[in-house]
Structure 1
Amino acid sequence: MRLHFLHKAGLLSLFVLLAFAAPAPPKKIKLYLIGDSTIAQKVKQTFPETGWGMPLPTFFDSTVVVDNRAVNGRSTRTFLAENRWQPVVEALQPDDYVFIQFGHNDESEAHPDRYTSPADYRKNLVKFVSETRAKKANPVLITPVTRRKFDKEGRIMETHVAYSAATMEVAKTLKVPLIDLDRMSRELLQQFGVENSKLLFLQLEPGDHPNYPFGRNDNTHFSELGARKMAQLVVNDIKAQKLPLAERMAKPLPKNAVPPAATGKDAQPTTP
């Protein structure tokens, strides 16, 4: 009788423990980035040029795997024509995300090999969105990040008017989350001002870096700082819109925590 009672008590305790056990962690998902050179991974030969997709993984916890498929020089048309989209579609799993930012090369009429009319650009965005949703994944449209261009009075100028408008139109029509990076990045550059905004771009004097011995005056591609600032804008808008991805952000270290790399007897808490 006593053994029977102990057995029942043990089972009851197990049920109680299971009932109050921590919930299972969310499953891992992939966040695909498709777009152009402003997002893309860079090779060491072009450092310090940095796409804003490169620092993006640091903002998420371990349940989000960022898969950056963006490629330099691609428009929506060439990304499709080169069969860069189909492998993403085939790999998509339910609850994955696809961040879609094009426009820089679509609007480049001087380069007919990549130019895409606004009408075709819309059609291509619709294709990306509809095929993502068909796989029960989540599309997010992003307006093209701004170029650094100020007028004589020091006011930032719009550089993607037609293509940002087309992106917003598709987002509204198809009820797709929209990150208006064009507007947010222009506001950021205005805050930095004409001179300080150079810090965000690939602006180098001769001799500053061995990859660019003659210097560089690039108002499209980002420095490490610029890429991180653009990624922060994207992340902040994910939080502001309360997209489900916001629940998968990396947790900040406690104020006095020792960073993981600082181990051993000489490690000291960081100063508040």
Structure 2
Amino acid sequence: MTNRLLPAVWLLGLMLMGFTASPPAKIKVYLIGDSTMANKEVKAFPETGWGMPFAVFFDETVTVDNRAQNGRSTKSFIAENRWQPVAYDLKPGDYVLIQFGHNDEVPTKATYTPEADFKANLVRFITETRSKKATPILITPVARRKFDAAGKIEETHAAYAGLVRTVAQANNVPLIDLDKESQEMLQQFGVENSKLLFNHLAPGEHPNYPDGREDNTHFSELGARKMAELVLADIRNLKLELADRIVRREVKTTVDPQAR
């Protein structure tokens, strides 16, 4: 009887092997944006873009390709031919995280992008990403550290953050509202402790900044990490397939203002 069962058992084993799930395909996650997201040269440290710590949270199936550049707007990113190679290289299953606004919104800068053009550029990123069967994710510009006299955080991106939200809704694109969430984090840290999140240095504290630094736009290593954690938490909350590839599954959403 046992011998008669062996072929059936063998056949069942082959069938089960056929149904075994194959490992997830390898993908790329492209980051396009400005200095708050970008990789930094050694001479800029401890200034850190949030895209730097973000990259280490994923398993071996994900390559994070950070194309963000200091000082860029949607207009200059396209004009300098920085977007086109990303669009060309996209493969099905890839992601593009899009965060602009800091340099688009300032009329005195050469990178200034009028509101209608800003929206059109975002739509271009979305359309060309989807044409490659990849997924675009829009991110509102991360907050600057600016408090009023009463210690309340001030909105510094109202118009352009609003445009990102409008484009996301109109085009059914996943949205990470980093402007809103980072404001909430800064408020939780408070006027003084929030300096820990930014590139604030006393004279002589770091050799790259012998005269010190009071930068309320660009992050310290701690600040970049905290912003990356906000983005990662939203990727999970949006229930994107990408969330299954995060190595640290439980991303903290609460903030300890004393954390260093």
| Fold match (TM-score > 0.5) | yes
C-alpha distance in 2 between matches for 1:252 and 1:165:
30
Partner in structure 1 of residue 255 of structure 2: none
The Cα of 1:8 is off from its aligned counterpart by: 3.3
Task: Spell out the pairing of 1:99-138 with structure 2 (5 A cutoff).
Answer: 99-111=97-109, 113-138=110-135
C-alpha distance in 2 between matches for 1:250 and 1:46:
28
Helix, strand or coil at the partner of 1:225? helix
Give, as a single letter, the amino acid of the residue that structure 2 aligns with 1:150: F
Cα deviations by residue, 1:206-250 (Å, 9 ceiling, x for unpaired): 000000000001000000000000000001111112122111110
Helix, strand or coil at the partner of 2:137? strand
The Cα of 1:27 is off from its aligned counterpart by: 0.5
Conserved 8 A contact 1:61-1:251: no
The Cα of 1:172 is off from its aligned counterpart by: 0.5
- After superposition, the CA RMSD in angstroms is 1.8
C-alpha distance in 2 between matches for 1:251 and 1:153:
38
Conserved 8 A contact 1:35-1:74: yes
Partner in structure 2 of residue 142 of structure 1: 139
The Cα of 1:57 is off from its aligned counterpart by: 1.6
Partner in structure 2 of residue 95 of structure 1: 93
C-alpha distance in 2 between matches for 1:75 and 1:150:
25
Unaligned stretches of 5+ in structure 1?
Answer: 254-272
Give, as a single letter, the amino acid of the residue that structure 2 aligns with 1:107: E
- Of 205, 227, 230 in structure 2, the residue corresponding to residue 233 of structure 1 is 230
Q: Are 1:8 and 2:7 counterparts?
A: yes
**TM-score normalized by the length of structure 2:** 0.91
Give, as a single letter, the amino acid of the residue that structure 2 aligns with 1:130: T
C-alpha distance in 2 between matches for 1:32 and 1:15:
39
Q: Are 1:83 and 2:77 counterparts?
A: no
Distance verdict in 2 for CA 1:251–1:114, change over 3 Å: closer
C-alpha distance in 2 between matches for 1:237 and 1:17:
36
Partner in structure 1 of residue 71 of structure 2: 73
Partner in structure 2 of residue 262 of structure 1: none
Cα deviations by residue, 1:58-95 (Å, 9 ceiling, x for unpaired): 22111111000000000000000000000000100011
C-alpha distance in 1 between matches for 2:249 and 2:242:
16
The Cα of 1:11 is off from its aligned counterpart by: 3.9
Give, as a single letter, the amino acid of the residue that structure 2 aligns with 1:74: R
C-alpha distance in 2 between matches for 1:151 and 1:229:
23
Give, as a single letter, the amino acid of the residue that structure 1 aligns with 2:7: K
Partner in structure 2 of residue 269 of structure 1: none
**TM-score normalized by the length of structure 1:** 0.87
Task: Spell out the pairing of 1:209-224 with structure 2 (5 A cutoff).
Answer: 209-224=206-221
Partner in structure 2 of residue 57 of structure 1: 55
- Of 161, 164, 168 in structure 2, the residue corresponding to residue 164 of structure 1 is 161
C-alpha distance in 2 between matches for 1:124 and 1:13:
55
Q: Percent identity over the alignment? A: 62
The Cα of 1:31 is off from its aligned counterpart by: 0.4
Give, as a single letter, the amino acid of the residue that structure 2 aligns with 1:49: E
Unaligned stretches of 5+ in structure 2?
Answer: 251-260
Q: Quick check: which has more Rg, 1 or 2?
A: 1
Partner in structure 1 of residue 245 of structure 2: 248
C-alpha distance in 1 between matches for 2:229 and 2:221:
12
C-alpha distance in 1 between matches for 2:19 and 2:37:
43
Cα deviations by residue, 1:117-157 (Å, 9 ceiling, x for unpaired): 11110010000001101111000000000000000000000
C-alpha distance in 2 between matches for 1:9 and 1:124:
60
C-alpha distance in 2 between matches for 1:26 and 1:223:
34
The Cα of 1:6 is off from its aligned counterpart by: 8.8
Give, as a single letter, the amino acid of the residue that structure 1 aligns with 2:28: K
The Cα of 1:56 is off from its aligned counterpart by: 0.5
The Cα of 1:17 is off from its aligned counterpart by: 5.0
Helix, strand or coil at the partner of 1:50? coil
